[in-house]
């Protein structure tokens, strides 16, 4: 953290410099279009990577920037997924509004939870997020009349986007849709973290005790970012529902909460693109490794995780950034 500047003009210039688009970012988004032309048979995978990336981004906002460690964020992913599914079952299959409603619902639940979340730190936080996640999953399991229980929600029917683009077998619509939403999510996240609000979050992460001392209402900040993050996770869940037309208890599972943390650690936390890169690596590796050996592919993910954590403490993106000799790609 090179936050040595003290004068306001310099601080503002620093923020502006941080929020400038780097050439790597532009290249990344151009590369994201490649699957349409070169890998059309991988589009369904690409759409699920984009969804996982959005989910990872939402966790990065609280874990990487605000230092809220969580093992239960799948709760919001799943709430968004079920909400989007239930809306279509109620007879409203329009995807864009469905996405917004699902995101708003997850954000609302996130806001309520945030009152508990900001009161605890460290291990207790881990336990509370884990517990809330497991409780939600069990609640969905026992509310079979609403969620369909272990069989998953049946009869999800999503209308074509703008009434024109149907979700096809190849996944063109699904990937385009997921990619656009991911891009919007990144725009929002960039705006958030490269602002005084974002800086105060990093302050909370670095030293909680000093924040009230310099007059920063850290609890309110944490609540805000937690709510936004929950909403974003909900949108990711809703995307999954809409692009696959299925919802199951799996969206709420501990496994999903844990996987997203693995993605973040692989890619690098607190870097926006770390979660995205982690999601790409995790999902592509999973796809390729499980093709080679469907039984034991997780072994290689484990090896990869150990190597990354030992050799590149800042994640793969952190390692790359060090190679390039520049902080934050």
Partner 1 sequence: MKNRVVTWTLAASALGVGFGWAASAYAADTVKIGLIMAYSGPFADTANQMQAGIDLWLAEHNGEVAGKKVELIKKDTGGPSPDVAKRLAQELVVRDGVDIIAGFTLTPEALGAADVATQAKKFMVVMNAATSVVTEKSPYIARTSLTIPQVNYAFGKWAVEKGGVKQAYTLVADYGPGHDAESSFAKGFKEAGGTVVGADASPVANPDFSAFVQRIKDANPEAVYIFIPGGAQPPAIGKALAERGLTPPKTKLFGQGELTLPEALESMGDTAKGIVTTFHYTMERDDPLNNAFVKAYRDANKNRSPDLFSIGGYDGMHLIDAALKKTNGDTDGDKLIEAAKGMAWDSPRGPVSIDPETRDIIQTVWIREVKEVDGKLQNVVIDSIPNVKDPLHGAAK
If one asks whether residue 29 binds partner 1 (CB under 8 A), the answer comes out as no
The CB-of-232 to partner 1 minimum distance in angstroms stands at 19
Rg of the chain on CA atoms, in Å? 20
The CB-of-271 to partner 1 minimum distance in angstroms stands at 16
If one asks whether residue 34 binds partner 1 (CB under 8 A), the answer comes out as yes
| Closer residue to partner 1 (CB): 188 or 285 | 285
The CB-of-237 to partner 1 minimum distance in angstroms stands at 10
* Candidate ranges 69-77, 98-106, 118-126, 247-255; the one touching partner 1 (CB under 8 A): 247-255
* Candidate ranges 3-11, 169-177, 181-189, 202-210; the one touching partner 1 (CB under 8 A): 169-177
If one asks whether residue 311 binds partner 1 (CB under 8 A), the answer comes out as no
- Alpha carbon 109 to its chain centroid, in Å, reads 17
Please provide residue 165's backbone torsions phi and psi, each rounded to the nearest 5 degrees. Answer: -95, 105
If one asks whether residue 251 binds partner 1 (CB under 8 A), the answer comes out as yes
| Closer residue to partner 1 (CB): 227 or 248 | 248
* Candidate ranges 8-16, 141-149, 194-202, 209-217; the one touching partner 1 (CB under 8 A): 141-149
Binder among 170, 217, 220, 326 for partner 1 (CB under 8 A)? 170
Site string for partner 1, 254-293 (x = CB under 8 A): -x------------------------xx--xx--xxxxx-
Alpha-carbon distance of 3 to 11, in angstroms, equals 9
The CB-of-123 to partner 1 minimum distance in angstroms stands at 24
If one asks whether residue 114 binds partner 1 (CB under 8 A), the answer comes out as no
Alpha-carbon distance of 177 to 198, in angstroms, equals 28
Binder among 1, 9, 123, 169 for partner 1 (CB under 8 A)? 169
Contacts with partner 1 by CB under 8 A lie at: 34, 38-42, 44-45, 48, 141-142, 144, 149-152, 154, 169-171, 240, 244-251, 253, 255, 280-281, 284-285, 288-292, 294-298, 304, 316
């Amino acid at each position: 953290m090179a936050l040595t500047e003290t004068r306001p003009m310099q601080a503002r210039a620093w923020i502006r410099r941080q929020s400038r688009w780097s050439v790597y970012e532009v290249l990344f988004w151009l590369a994201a279009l490649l699957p349409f032309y070169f890998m059309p048979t991988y589009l369904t995978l690409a759409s699920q990577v984009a969804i996982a990336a959005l989910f990872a981004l939402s966790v990065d906002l609280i874990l990487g920037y605000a230092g809220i460690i969580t093992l239960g964020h799948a709760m919001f992913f799943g709430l968004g997924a079920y909400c989007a599914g239930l809306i279509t079952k109620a007879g409203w299959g329009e995807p864009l509004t469905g996405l917004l409603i699902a995101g708003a619902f997850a954000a609302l639940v996130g806001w309520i939870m945030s009152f508990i979340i900001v009161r605890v730190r460290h291990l207790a936080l881990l336990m509370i997020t884990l517990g809330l996640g497991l409780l939600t999953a069990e609640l969905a399991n026992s509310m079979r009349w609403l969620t369909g229980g272990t069989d998953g929600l049946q009869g999800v029917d999503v209308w074509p986007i703008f009434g024109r683009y149907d979700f096809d077998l190849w996944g063109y619509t699904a990937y385009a849709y997921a990619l656009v939403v991911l891009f919007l999510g990144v725009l929002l996240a960039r705006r958030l973290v490269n602002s005084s609000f974002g800086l105060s979050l990093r302050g909370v992460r670095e030293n909680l005790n000093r924040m009230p001392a310099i007059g920063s209402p850290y609890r309110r900040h944490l609540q805000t970012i937690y709510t936004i993050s929950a909403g974003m996770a909900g949108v990711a869940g809703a995307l999954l529902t809409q692009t696959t037309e299925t919802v199951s208890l799996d969206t709420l599972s501990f496994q999903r909460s844990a996987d997203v943390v693995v993605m973040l650690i692989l890619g690098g936390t607190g870097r926006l693109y770390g979660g995205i890169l982690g999601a790409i690596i995790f999902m592509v590796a999973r796809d390729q490794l499980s093709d080679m050996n469907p039984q034991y592919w997780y072994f290689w993910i484990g090896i990869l995780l150990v190597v990354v954590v030992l050799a590149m403490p800042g994640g793969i993106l952190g390692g790359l950034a060090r190679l390039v000799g520049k902080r934050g790609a």
